[in-house]
Chains A and B, each alone.
Chain A
Amino acid sequence: GQQVMQIPQYQHVQEGEDFTTYCNSSTTLSNIQWYKQRPGGHPVFLIQLVKSGEVKKQKRLTFQFGEAKKNSSLHITATQTTDVGTYFCAGLENNFGNEKLTFGTGTRLTIIP
């Protein structure tokens, strides 16, 4: 079955440094979603990417979908303490609905003030 790997599992950065998490799928994806889970909270939807090579930005966050639609990345510029949390990618293998949404293992980001 489809597997979605996410690296790194943990990342500790100094406040102000950049951060990147990578997501790789064993199969071609129809789209990919990103979620953020704050400590003690629940995952919250951030964004969805659909097109090959698509790049989307939300303030300091940049999301990219690979040309082959098998990988994606989330890059945060100049991290702040509010960025702390676990970031999950979730890939949709086909376009039949959310039942095929496979979550990555997540990257937990901690910030050193």
Chain B
Amino acid sequence: DVKVTQSSRYLVKRTGEKVFLECVQDMDHENMFWYRQDPGLGLRLIYFSYDVKMKEKGDIPEGYSVSREKKERFSLILESASTNQTSMYLCASSHGTDNSPLHFGNGTRLTVT
């Protein structure tokens, strides 16, 4: 079974702090994604990556950056956290083949105060 592990289940940070959300997958997947989930808005894509050191902006990249130094690890960075970034963050991975399904981690619920 694919396992996608997010380092924290819950995080509480202060406005202005730099926040790192870590995600690791163990199935040698090429593709990795970061989504945020908010009530009534579904899942919105923040950033994605098709390969090591490669990154592409999703639909809502403002205020975020990412890092993919190793194939199995994809990090989401909030350079200066703000209260409107309070949300559930979901990491996902998939094979590089077309249309392969996404495998999600358990999510990190981030609260910015």
Contacts and interface: CB of A to CB of B under 8 A. Distances in A.
A43 B102 contact: yes
A1 B59 contact: yes
Chain A interface size, as a band, is 20 to 34
A97 B98 contact: yes
B43 A103 contact: yes
B104 A44 contact: yes
Nearest to A45: B101
B48 interface: yes
A104 B104 CA distance: 16
A98 B42 contact: no
Contact of B101 (A41, A48, A103, A105): A48
15 contacts: A1-B59, A9-B40, A30-B99, A33-B101, A41-B106, A44-B104, A48-B101, A90-B43, A96-B98, A97-B98, A98-B31, A99-B45, A103-B44, A105-B41, A106-B42
Interface of A: 1, 6, 9, 30-31, 33, 35, 41-45, 48, 50, 88, 90, 92, 95-99, 101, 103-106
